[in-house]
Homo-oligomer: A and B are copies of this chain.
Amino acid sequence: MSRPPAPSGDDLLKVLTALGNPHRMRIVAALGGGRNYVSALAREIGIGRPLLHMHLQRLEAAGLVTGTLELAANGKAMKYFELTPFAYVLTPETVAGAALTLTTELTKEEKTTMKETTS
């Protein structure tokens, strides 16, 4: 009876767009072997460091990985990333449930209204 908590629509959307990319899937795979720092990861996967930086940001924003800036013994600052243990189930029901709480895709009128109201 213990069911995983139903994610909000926006959260699930962030997770799906985060994982829906070959590079980011490979990053998850690479981090499966253990934590690693950015430059080493870039070499391992074979992409540039600024590019990897952006992908890691996206994964972290979705809550799938965690970055920690640490000072190594030699004094160098290194940012280690590791996997967050996540578990999402994708079925018509879970997707439909999440879709109900989506706040995205507002019409242009709604957007301008929100800007006016917020400002």
A interface list, Cβ under 8 A from B: 9, 12-13, 15-17, 19-23, 25-26, 28-29, 31-32, 83, 85-93, 95-100, 102, 104-105
Contacts and interface: CB of A to CB of B under 8 A. Distances in A.
Contacts of A19: 16, 20, 90, 95
A28 B102 contact: no
What is the interface of chain A mostly: helix, strand, loop, or mixed? helix
Contact of A99 (B26, B85, B86, B105): B26
Contacts of A95: 19, 25, 28-29
Given A25-B9, A25-B98, A102-B26, A93 B32 contact: yes
Contacts of A26: 99, 102
